[in-house]
Every structure is written in C-alpha cells, then in structure tokens.
Amino acid sequence: MSEHTTKVDLSPKEEIRGLVERSRAAQKEIENYTQEQVDELIRAMVWSVARPGVAEEIAQFTLDETQLGNYEGKFLKIQRKTRATLMDIIDDKSVGILEEDPERAIVKIAKPMGVIGALAPSTNPEATPVIKAIHAVKGRNSIIVAPHPRAKLTNKKICDLMRNALETYGAPADLVIGIETPTLELTNELMNQCDRVLATGGGAMVNAAYSSGTPALGVGVGNAVITVDETADLEDASNKIKLSKTLDLAASCSADNSVILVNKIYDEMISKFQEKGGYLVSEEEKEKLKNTLWDEEGHLNTAIVAQPADKIAEMADVSIPEGTEFYIVPETGWGPDHPFSGEKLSVVMALYKADNIDHAIELTNNIQSYQGQGHSCGIYSNSDENIMKLANITKTSRVMVNQPQSASNSGNLWNGMRQTFSLGCGSWGGNGTNNNISWRDLINETWVSKPLTETKELSSDEELFGDVMDKIK
C-alpha cells in the first residue's frame, strides 16, 4: 500500500484488517503482563473517564450527541457504574493459575483470547465501551469498539481518553481502538475478523454476531416483567419501580416494561404510582400512545426512545398533568396484538392485574414468550415461597428481588451480580450463556490434568444401576 493511500481508498475489509493488525500487535505486547500490570491498566482506564470534571463532561457530551436519556442517567453510568465494575473485578485473579482442584488433579490456567470485537448501542454509549474494555484488558486482550453511528463522537472521546491513559502507563494505546466512522459494513467485517465478538444492542445486531462465524457472546431482548404481591412493602416497591422506569428515561433494556399487581394491593399501588409522577392513561389515550409508539407494521418509533414524558405527550397529542414522569397503561393481553406487552424503551409501563402469585407467574411467562424470554424479571415480596415459585417456573436468567430492575440486574453495590452491561439470556433468548458477561467470558482456559493419586474403580452394576436392573430385562 502506497504512502499516499488514504482511508477513502480502503474497502471495509481492508480498513478492518488494518485495525485488527494494530490491535493484535498491541495485544501481543501485554499477553505476558503480570496481574499487577493488568490491574494498573484498568484502574487507569476507568479513572481517565470517571474522574471529577471529565465524567460530567462526558455525560453532557453523550446527551448532546445522542439526544437519548437524561444527564443524571448518563452521569451515573459513567461516574458510578464504571467505578462499581472496576471494584467488582479488581481483586479477581485473571493471570496465571485461576483454579486448582486437588480432588480431580486439575489446574486451570488463564490465557488471552486476542482481539475482542465489541458492539456498543446508542442507548448506553457512555459506559459500555469502558466496561467492555476493562473486561477485555483484564483478560490481557485488546478491543475494537464499533459504536452506533448516533454515538460515534461519544465513543471516540471515551476511547481516546482510555488510549491516553494506557500510554501514560507504558502500554500500547491500540489496546483500545474505536471505529471512528461506523457503518454496517465495517461492523460486519469486525465481527468476521476479530477473535471474539461481544455484542450489546438490538436483536438484528446480536443475530448478525452469532452468524458471523466468529465465537460470539450476545444478549437477548429485554422486556422485564415485575410482580408486586400482597406481602410487599408497597412504598418501597413503588419508589423502586418508578426509579427503574425513569432511570436515563428508560434507555436500558432492563427498565420495567410491565408491572403485575395482585388484586389485594392493585388500587393502593396505582395511587402510590400516581403520587410519584405516574399517569394512568384512559382507553382513548392508550390508543393515541399506541399509534405514536409503533407504526402500522409494529415497529417501535425510534423518536420516542428514551424521551421525557412531556415530549411523548406532545407527539401523541395527550394532555398530562405537570410533574408526570411515566405512563401507566392498563393491559390484559400479550403478543403482537397487544404491543404494550413488549419492550418499549420509553417511560411507558404496561400494568396488569393478577388474582394471585400463580396468576402473576402465568402472565409473566405469557408476556415474555412474546418478548424478553430469558432476560430477567423481578418481584417485590417478603414471601420466600412466592419468590422461589416465580424463579422456578419462569424462563429467566435473573430474578431481582426487592430491587429496581434496571439499576440492579447488571450488577450494583447492593447485590452480588457481576457488574456489566452485557446480560446473557441463555437458550431462552437465543444466547450462548446466562451470565452477566465479564472478563471470565473473554479468556481461554487451559486445563492441566494429572493422574489421580489413586485410580478410581468402576462401581459394580448393583451400585450403579440399582432397581433398574430388575425393571429392564
């Protein structure tokens, strides 16, 4: 390639090949780093974006560019979520021997994967690159981030800050590379050429990741369903549901999309929601909201995503009282004919009434069979029996108990979930894992197996098969 060759002259395949070569060279420089060196780098990466003054700047910059969510939500993510994620992993051993199992005479050794190709959504573009990057570097990998075009400047700003931090500590800046002018073609090429795809975004993006031919970790569609039973602390539940529904104006796929109230507390909870800025819509207003949120083919209107309640009201020609922060839409059905039962990415919440916990579980499974199966659900309850019944009967990877869903299922200081923005949904959601994806999902492991001190003896047929021997002849 001539020195006069410009970026414009490159095909998507060639452009990504160049980025991957740079990324791979950087990764080779740290593949033998010690644990102390790795941890020093991720501390520097987080501090570079989350330190006082910079976090505020990023939050405002992100809001200005994307016009999604609100400042408070963006600030919490870049300032607090990144710190919490660092704290969650900083003491983890990710270099050398991870585990020893003397009983089985097995030793597990951590090895880097290489170049991680990360896809980042427009709804969480401020913290997602940071969290994915520190998980990658924790495993001694490099990372290339493909942002949503709507957040490309935010991604560049954040990646540049992390690159500068890496250089300050003597590591190659190319451990973190952001695609500056993202296109679908470049993103597809990245998925083809990297060593591991880490996809966070819409269903089409995740499906493309799994179809790329490269080992991929994707997330499923969110559509959190929250149950409130008769044993719940209703004041606490209403406060936390409101927080979850309005955090960053519901930009997260974990925001409460449907809330199920058992009969005994239905009216009281509605009153509490209304006291906290919830607006209970009429049937006429429900129809107006429906026509605003979705087109005739059932596609979500992106103009309403992560927007304040008053803007949605203006678009829908609905009159709402001053102080309204979220909509409450009574619903009974689920599926395409009942679009409010699905993911809305907005401050709009479907409301269901259940006879009891069994009915609530049935509703949850029906709603999530339409959208969100495998992702997460929640319950406000002081009954362990009800909590475990919901957990056992629903097809879900995570059940959040007495916690604001959107602030909790990806990890928070008040629970033990792994801190991440990538939530695996298992086979229910078409994913390869149920995990809150972290650095442990971004390494290879070598298992060293030595002979047992004492060779095991095969059990007798009587011990192994028992009564089966008498029944099957």
Residue type, 188: N
Residues 6+ apart with CB under 8 A from 429: 219, 220, 221, 372, 373, 374, 375, 397
Element (H, E) at 272: helix 266-275
Active site residue 159: no
Specify which residues 441 forms β-bridges with.
Answer: none
* Residue 257 DSSP symbol: E
The H or E element containing residue 137 is helix 128-138
Q: How far apart are CA 315 and CA 329, in angstroms?
A: 17
Please count the other Cβ atoms lying within 10 Å of the Cβ belonging to residue 64: 11
Q: What's the 3-state SS for 91-134?
A: CCCCCEEEEEECCCCEEEEEEECCEEEEECCCCCCCCHHHHHHH
Select from 375, 334, 328 the least CA-distant residue to 348.
328
Rounded to whole angstroms, what are the CA distances from 46 to 37, 50, 55, 81?
15, 6, 10, 10
CB atoms within 10 A of CB 20: 22
Four-CA torsion 143, 144, 150, 154, nearest 10 degrees: 60
Within 8 A by CB and 6+ apart from 385, the residues are none
Place of tokens 């894992």: 433
Angle at 418 between CA 24 and CA 97, to 5 degrees: 55
Task: Answer for the pair 32, 150: CB distance below 8 angstroms, yes or no.
Answer: no
Catalytic option among 159, 194, 253, 425: 253
Query: Catalytic amino acids?
Result: 253
